[in-house]
Structure 1
Amino acid sequence: MDKTGVLIVDDSVLMRSIITSLFEQDDRFYIVGVATNGFECLERIVELQPDLVIMDVEMPEMDGLDALQYIVHYHPMPVVMLSSYTSEGSEQTFKALQIGAVDFFHKDRLFEGNPHMVDDFLLRCKVAARSRMPVLMDVKVTNKNTTINVLKETLTYCLKIEEQLRIAQEELWKTIRQQGGMVVKFKQIKGEFVHTMCEGELLRRFGLVPDMVFGKSLIDFFSEDIAEHHEEHYAKAWSGEEFVLYETNMRGAVYFTILRPIQVDGMVSEVIGVTIDITEQSKAAESLDFLVRHDSLTGLPNRNYLTDLLKKLTAPGAGKPFALFFLNLDNFKILNETLSHELGSYLLEIVARRLKSLARGVHTLARVGGDEFVYLLPNCTPQQVAEMAIAILETIRHPIQIQGHNLKITASMGISRYPEDASDPEALVKYADFATDIAKENGRDQFHFYTAALHERLDQRLKIEKHLRKALERNEFELFFQAIVDTRTDRIVGMESLIRWNSPDLGRVPPNQFIPIAEETNLILDIGEWVLWEACRWNKTWQKQGLPPVTVTVNLSSRQFYDHKLKETIVRILEISGLTKDSLEIEITESMTMDVGRAISTLKELKQLGLQIAMDDFGTGYSSLAYLKEFPIDKLKIDQSFVKGIETNPINASIVNTIISMARNMRMKVIAEGVETEEAQRILKEYDCHYMQGYYFSRPLCGEEAAQLMSIRNID
């Protein structure tokens, strides 16, 4: 039996893994490769020649619908599209089938745990793959049963497509009714566009009924200029243009029309169109455009505005030099937590007003992040740039009085210049941002120019970012585990997950080098999801091997912690891996709880799932004890900077003992990390610390080695 080669295209690592596992259960299929976006999909099709493509709709760089257009026109082959089960998904269904998808499946159904849904999905994929064959009547099938089965499958497929089209049509009519729109059909007869059908609420708004419009042209109802406006677009549709979209301003309202020709034997026989009233949306769009391009707190242009402006200023022929100042407030996160977020916002408004006072005419000031501002200074000499930098720092440095607090605010600033340093907008911002980091490293409250001397450091950073984007796809990451030992029983009760990256091009890259870059580029969400999945998978594997149960700990990044899909992701991974909720522990850092309200809300959600929660690096962040008692925390991890040297440093010993006593009073357990000597272990036992972790017990181990350690150490 010939197997069907499948190419899986989805930007989610987890979805690719799930779909792969589904096909691996069916010996009629095999996976030829995967892709993360439309561009990669087209490359893989040329390279791998799959029999069937399974592709998500929503993806970065090139989405599934755009990729489908290319496949249909340049590499015809069966494509099954996937999307979420939403109203938007229904619209995508209709559009994908119009473009040329063989079938469409809502991937949410694959998570329902219903084996019939999986069987249905695989059956539809099998039928879809057959669409590559010639017409059924042209296929010589000698086996009667095979012929009957193929006919059954084809009929089932056709009925499903018919049902999907029916749903899509219902959604379309529902939208038209909600928008107070109308549907029209017209033909060209003797040089005139004559309506053959017109229905909908909008028609009645014009004082017309369907019978009055039938057989009539536009000039019979509208002024000459309006009629000509419509007929100009009618002509485009009649000439065969696939989609004609246009707006009409009439009687104080704004209408949107889309026309689509209906062809028979390659000739346009009729045109169908939909018109809806978008007056309110048009007004809202104007307000929305301002909101999208301006910061709601300060009223300054935001990153979107700045990006568009930089593209214009650096376009060929623009030619005028300028300097870009990237400014970051020093220690703002600490101040924000200390003062409350409301006063922190007020502080940002004061800084914005001070910076505005320096702006003149064509100078541009934008707020591009929490406490990040960008200032553009055009047509300036190096001396003028330096003078402006000094003026900015001095303006910010003036003391600010807030609710009895006399605050001295400072900033660090990096400067890049166009065109000397770069001609690309993204590079200009990146170089200035990097120079800001250097200013912070050098002591803060100063500015630093980007120079060629910094390029080597930036180049290494860019190399890491470039290879990091492919590391997950190339399976370059590995999860290691470090044992957590119960102080009283000396048994392993937990394993902390630690990611490692061994790049074929860069060698071993330390986590402290690539994790910050992953945070900045949002790659941390995919990497974090992979870590969660691998940790749960390994723990379930250990359980199946009959090892004593342990809790696996996963460190969340700040972006993961505040990601609105975090709870959904954890639930999904636990369901797929089969791991129980009490076998997973989530670890956050103290500094991640500075947004106290959101932190409490997120932690309570995770706690309601039945997860264990630990706070890492306790004693190094900014949490106050008043807030700490509000957090649903099960364990505190004492930072290893306090634990190391506990044998000889009485201050460290006192700090550790105090934290353990405090945690016990708050009914929290304590983990001491960084335990490296027998004497440190003895002292921590004396302090009645609950758990310990460090090289004294074990170095970080791969999954197989961790299993061996548990099998030896946890023997009764």
Structure 2
Amino acid sequence: MKKYRESVAPFADYQQLIQMNPFDAVICLRKVDKKAFEVVDFNDKLLSFMELQDKAATNAERFFTKQCWLQLSNFLNEEVHTQHVLKLGTGLHERAFAIHVQHFSNSMVAVILREIKIEEKPYLQYVEQHVDPVLTVDLQGRIIHQNVAVTSALSKEKHSLIGRDIFSLLESKYINEFKLLFAKTIEGSAFGMPKCLFKDQLLSKEPFYLRTHPTYYNGVVIGVHLFVKDANSFMNDHEAFYYLALMDELTGIWNRKAFKEHWLHHLNDKKQEHKQAALILVDIDRFKKFNESLGESKGDELMRMFSQRLNELCYSKCSLYRYNSDEFIFVLKDATIQKIELTANAILDILKQPFMIDEQEYFISVSVGISLSPADGKDLETLVRKADKALFSVKEHGRSHYRYYREDMTAIFPNEALMEAHLRRAIEFNELSLHLQPQMDLTNNSINSFEALLRWNNRKFGFVSPAQFIPIAEASGLIIEIGDWIIDEVCRHQKEWQSKGYRPVRIAVNISPKQFRKENFARKIKAALKKYEVPPELLEVEITESSMTNVHETFSILTELKQLGVYVSVDDFGTGYSSLSYLKRYPIDIIKIDQSFIRDIAKDDKNEAIIKAIISMSHNLGLEVIAEGIEELIQVDFLKRHHCQKGQGYLYNKPLPVETIVQKYFVS
């Protein structure tokens, strides 16, 4: 404030306008008597708009030039909704200003001056004298101007909205949709919103049609004009139909069509030519299970809640789109690494709070892949594909985090022959490693066994999915050499842990059918146990049902293994070829229920009956039961009720590197 701070309480809100308005000159005056006014405050724009007689004077007549005050003093005593033009100078040097007078009380008044230029005059007349109410807001949503129609529509008690936050005036149900329009309008496009309503029935008692237009100053968007129009006019507005075509029907956010059109607009924007943009692809982890358990209606409700929560993260340079049924894309413009990671972490953090459906809590996790433009490309198809590659890598490494696209994610093996060639050297180049996944004892929540899982980090192509290389290893016969390496590694770790005094735990090793059927298989197991002096009860040999097609061969091999003292388990039980009668015939210790059965607990009565039958039958045969793929507490509750001894899955932990397992379960 420049003058009389103690006098401005009646229009404190207007002080913000004085500082914020970048294109209007604003001066606040206090009426002393019928003709005399004192200058209370003014912004710097006034100094550039006109010559002042004495800018330090408090008396308005001495403050303004004589030419200016003669005109202005006549305007000040007229009605609030009157529009005037102030002319200063003469001839070629004449300048004209549109004058808007805003009364705050009997004594307080503000004068807003906007210079009229020839090319701007029709546009200013359109806004200032528009028959519909028009509000002008800055880039933060603060109202900095209202036209005559707004003032006329307001009550005497609420005769000014200037200085108010437009978002705070909206009814809550319209805020998210308005934020989307506001962000897009700032980017330079006009939009229409079919229905909108202010609180306390400001300007309209019924929902109205809201049109947004960007406000330019020196070629730069500095705000938004908001036109309040009759709701029926929406149906006559071709842009309204265009707007509807760009919105996702279920969630109300931008759809895939909008994503493509907005990206094309971004590419054509010269101002963005040398700035980085980011595509953040968000995929809901296993959303299908929610639809299956909740039903379509409740699943849609959850999707709307999810999208609204994501939408809270948007700002003027960050837009959200629904790309597929369970995939969303954020587009960040002028994106620094700090902004990108801030957004990615915010996405993960905002989902830590549950969603409430019918008073029941549901948690949603997401995997996030990121690609950058122009580094990873400019065309949308390329950027989405690369973000999807990064997303796939996230899912391969445990979900619920984010990764940037890397070239080695795309540089997959062009053919199986090349993959096989690299796989043959994987052991030699120390590219293979083991990850261990804990198995939880459901009776006492302790962990005394793990499953070993193979990982391959190729020197040229990076991490390769087991789903890619295991079939190649099987078909080429390399699986036998790799399987021998795994057994050796497991026994080596067991020996190391014993020497360090760690508690004994059992480790399960997956054995392929080809490896299992080799006539020297049991002898290799025996040699590894002897080499590292590992007690046989600390090793579990895990075979699949497909390994047991030959009854006599299977019985012979399993008998040899049992004579060694190792544990034998059947993996993925219920998905292969075996008959239940085999369980009674073979020397088996453990049954592992396949995750496909566990996934459908509480969704399928027949499925639950099968699980109960497997557990009951196994107990009658003296077998231990381990449930695979546990992800939800409701699954644990069911398994505990039916006395399943152990469980493993992402609910407890993902497969982790051996070093991490040691720190997490042995050292700490």
TM range (shorter): 0.3 to 0.5
* Bigger Cα Rg: 2
After TM superposition, the score normalised by the length of structure 2 is 0.38
